[in-house]
Amino acid sequence: MTTHRSPAASTSRPVRILRGISAVLASFLAFLVLAIVLGAYFPAIPKAGVIGPVLGGQYPFHIALIALVAAVLAALARRAGLVRWGRTVTVITALCALGALAIGGIQFRAAQNAGADVSFSEPFTELGYPAVKPDTTKTYASPEGKPLRVDVYLPKKTPDTKPADKQPVSKQPVSKQPVGNQAVGVKQPGGKKTPAVVLAHAGGFHTFDKSDLRGTGRWLADHGVAVFAVDYRLAGPDRPTWNKAPQDLVAALSWVQKNADEYGVDSTRISLGGMSAGGTLAMNAAYRLHNGTIKTPDGSTPKPPAAVIGFYPGTDVTQMWKDDVAGTREAAEMFTGGTPDQYPDRYREVSPTSDIRPGLPRTLLVVGDRDRSARPETVTGLGDALRKQGVDTEVRELPFAEHAFDDAYGSLTSQTSRQILLDFLTKEAR
């Protein structure tokens, strides 16, 4: 006798498999986005407060999409029989999607307030640094026989006279204009020379290099500012550079000043800046130049920069050692050669807070409000101290932004910070 299986029985196994897969994926994604969104809003939560500001702050729209995918999977599981569970996960993931979109909305408002021409495609198409190249790379100094190099990003010569901050952004490398073996800068329309900035890369004084600045360098050049991204001597175990790296930035500034005409740069509008440890070095070098306590390795003393920029900088190296967050203690010891108790003078000499005086160059400080390494209160505190001395100082705190918020080149915080930097470099001192 033949037994016929009912349609319901024949589909029960596939339905169970589908329900199980949907449930597992939805559960995993729901847990992930919940941890990220909660951590972004409440950084004090252990572990979630570490990943939340990084992922939620730089990729809010991606997190919202993942949350929506989890909601769809939970809905499929609910239709397959897991009613209560599916309903719960759907609600959680929908709330996470709204929370992530709210982060993006707040960051978009900050970008608008900064005057940024926001691209909503770049957060998805420019996840890392863009594949651009400098116009030329030169050696600006060779201390201890080791060449230090500078990547030069130059503005294009444009036939129209639209303001620099309205020029369209080119994603292609600017073509060289060779004279001999060099690429020379060009003047702005009407023969006006360009402002320039010497930028030092991040890396805790001991890692990374000037190529990390290629996205910022090309973008600023496309908007009318010449950029000189420099390497400096990096610290290592038993190789402190507290008395070398700041001097390297002074030497780089001197080199740019001497070659200003060659690159079409306005020698009176050359600024010095950097990201993270590079910002610490830039402020330290600039302030000490003004105060007459630093020279180049060959003993010469260039003019102080027209302005100084610190993106999420360490303002006090002793405080970096005390905080011991995300490797700051190791970086401080490698840089100085020991602890604050061993070398208090070294820690004091390399900290920008030690050189606050009247008359310092105007200063831009930019930090994320979720930064654990360069805590916002330390950066705003430096800004307050500078203002008390009459220094023209601008402090910008970006919402839902962690340390190195510009690593995701296309993120809203990165787009905002580039506009803030451009406006600072192109406006005249008050």
Average pLDDT for 344-370: 97
pLDDT at res. 359 = 96
Report the share of the chain in percent with pLDDT over 70.
Answer: 88
* Least confident residue range of 160-164, 178-182, 185-189: 178-182
Residue 7, Cβ density class (10 Å: 0-12 exposed, 13-18 middle, ≥19 buried): exposed
pLDDT at res. 289 = 97
Which parts of 114-193 fold into alpha helices (H)? 122-125
Long-range contacts of 119-123 (CB under 8 A, 24+ apart): 119/410, 119/415, 121/410, 122/409, 122/410, 122/411, 122/415, 123/59, 123/61, 123/62, 123/408, 123/410, 123/411, 123/412
Average pLDDT for 241-263: 97
Report the helix count and the strand count for the chain, using DSSP H and E: 14, 10
Residues 92-138 pLDDT 10s: 999 999 999 999 999 999 999 999 999 999 999 998 889 999 999 99
Q: Are strands 226-230 and 194-200 parallel, antiparallel or unpaired?
A: parallel
Residues 10-30 pLDDT 10s: 457 776 777 778 788 999 999
pLDDT at res. 118 = 96
User: pLDDT at residue 159 above 50?
Assistant: no
pLDDT at res. 249 = 98
User: pLDDT at residue 57 above 90?
Assistant: yes
Handedness of CA 156, 160, 166, 170 (dihedral sign): negative
Cα gap 131→211, rounded to integer Å: 10
* pLDDT tier at 77, thresholds 50, 70, 90: confident
- Residue linked to tokens 């702050």: 57
In sequence order, what are the beta bridge partners of 362? 307
Q: Are strands 148-153 and 194-200 parallel, antiparallel or unpaired?
A: unpaired
| Cβ proximity of 230 and 200 under 8 Å | yes
Pick left, alpha or beta for residue 238 (phi over 0 → left; psi -120 to 50 → alpha; otherwise beta): left
Residues 268-317 pLDDT 10s: 999 999 999 999 999 999 999 999 999 998 888 999 999 999 999 999 99
Phi/psi of residue 69, nearest 5 degrees: -60, -45
pLDDT at res. 191 = 61
88 to 6, 60, 70, 165: CA distances (angstroms): 32, 22, 12, 48
| Cβ proximity of 408 and 128 under 8 Å | yes
